[in-house]
Structure 1
Amino acid sequence: MNTLQQTLESYTVKTICILDATISSDLYVPLNLSKYNEDLIDLDITNHVVCQSYIDDVLKNKQGTIAYGGYLEQRNLYSDKEGFTSNNKPVRNIHLGIDFWCDAGTKVIVPLDGKVHSFKNNATIGDYGPTIILEHLFNDITFYTLYGHLAVDSLLDLYIGKDFKAGEILATLGKPDINVNYAPHLHFQIIHDLEGNEGDYPGVCAEGRLSFYKENCPDPNVLLKLGLV
């Protein structure tokens, strides 16, 4: 465990719910969208309507409101998207954050004190859509959190350096036409070094780069502790 992971783990022993504070952590249920999930073999998971139908079934069966998961998950979700499957580059299909699948318009809650580093509408199909990156300083360690697939009005009234306290509302989730063709969800990622990026950072990597990204983007659940306590 590296220094950042130790810092994240030490932040709290309690579960942090990153969406609408009125939704109990008991209503967060795990979701498997990996290419190894046999339930997905005959489903076109790249179609946001099909994907949403599958997620709805999981939530109904598990009596949940929010489905979450996906860290280091190898997925077929991106197989129809040119930026992930270019013939000239290695296929990118390993997910580097946690996705939280729930209704468009759901409030996104800041998990710990931070300030706006950058924001951008990454509007290319398959990208994040509206995106916010916060900068955090805890125990003398600087790191960043990325929030993707937001509603476009979440970027209004933002400015670089704007402060947010833990528990405050940061944004709301966008619809498929805004979040660039995905079922509504939040992509949440922790990043140690942004490598000069602003308003964007890779959320999916190729297998050959996994060792770097696994170190630079630790499991967000080390901080959130969903299902762990």
Structure 2
Amino acid sequence: MNPITFHQFLETLSQESASVLNPELQPQDYVPINLSETNPQLHTFNVASSLAWEAFIQAHLNTHQAKVAYGGYLEQRNIYKRSGYFNPSSNNVERNIHLGVDFWLDAGEAIYAPLEATIHSFKNNTNYGDYGPTIILKHDMGQEVFYTLYGHLSMASIDGLTVGKTLKKGTPFATLGAAEVNGDYAPHLHFQIIRDMEGYQGDYPGVCSKKNLDKFAANCPDPNLLLKVY
């Protein structure tokens, strides 16, 4: 399949949204949030502080009377400047373009399989600013096989997990982690679609550089093609 056809394929997998959050959430419970470097509000607090981020996200939710803030696909962000993991001095190539969609809500909230799946791999990615506990699901849809990544989970989400375990669509299989385990972020889910895992296990880049954007955008299409949230 070429990328355009794969996009169409993702859209046809669910006529309605394929939810990764509580299915009882209503459309009015979601509100978009801009975390790009163009948002002047991000200069009003310490973006290196997970506590400051939690306060910022909660204020946004309160203002809009919402339960979940979402956004971020191909968003260029400054938050990654705080970590050498995204800005290695050895090659001077900054990674700051976000390849998934984020859902900001409370730690402990359940995460659900959007489609039938098996556990492909899992890992605790412990670099500062990284995913923390991460699960990758494999979706074999017959004509296409692809993967979905769930980052910033709780430690309990990967304790006792086994590769190859099957999940039915709508099965809760993980919970969101707090800042202490999720890479030092306000609680949120990083959700990403991946066509080719390129040999990665329990991990895959969720942020890329401008130099490599075309490659990663082709391999990681817009999650909303499947989720239909926005």
Same-fold call, TM cutoff 0.5: yes
Q: Is the 8 A contact 1:7 1:139 kept in 2?
A: no
1:81–1:126 contact (8 Å) kept in structure 2: yes
Residue type matched to 2:23 in 1? Answer: A
Matched, 1:202 2:205: yes
Is residue 158 of structure 1 aligned with residue 161 of structure 2? yes
Residue 70 of structure 1 aligns with an amino acid whose one-letter code is G
SS in 2 for 1:144: strand
Q: Deviations over 1:16-42 (max 9, x none)?
A: 331123322320111110000121123
Is the contact made by 2:117 and 2:139 (CA closer than 8 Å) also made in structure 1? yes
Distance 1:20 1:178 in 2: 22
Between 13-22 and 90-99, report the one with greater CA deviation: 13-22
Structure 2: gaps spanning 5 or more residues = none
- Residue identity in the other structure for 2:208: C
Q: Which residue matches 1:189?
A: 192
Counterpart-to-counterpart distance in 1, 2:144 and 2:19: 22
Structure 1 residue 143: deviation in Å?
0.4
Other-structure match for 2:7: 5
Structure 1 counterpart SS, 2:96: strand
1:139 Cα deviation after fit: 4.4
State the AA in 2 paired with 1:214: A
Q: Which of 71, 74, 98 does residue 73 from structure 2 map onto?
A: 71
Partners of 2:4 and 2:89 lie apart in 1 by 35
The aligned residue for residue 105 of structure 2 is 102
SS in structure 1 of the partner of residue 66 of structure 2: coil
Q: Distance in 2 between matches of 1:109 and 1:145?
A: 12
Deviations 1:146-181 (Å, cap 9, x if unpaired)? 001100011123211100111000100001001021
Matches of 1:11 and 1:180, distance apart in 2 = 32
Q: Normalising by structure 1, report the TM-score.
A: 0.96
Deviating runs (4+, > 6 A) in structure 1?
Answer: none
Paired position in structure 1 for 2:61: 59
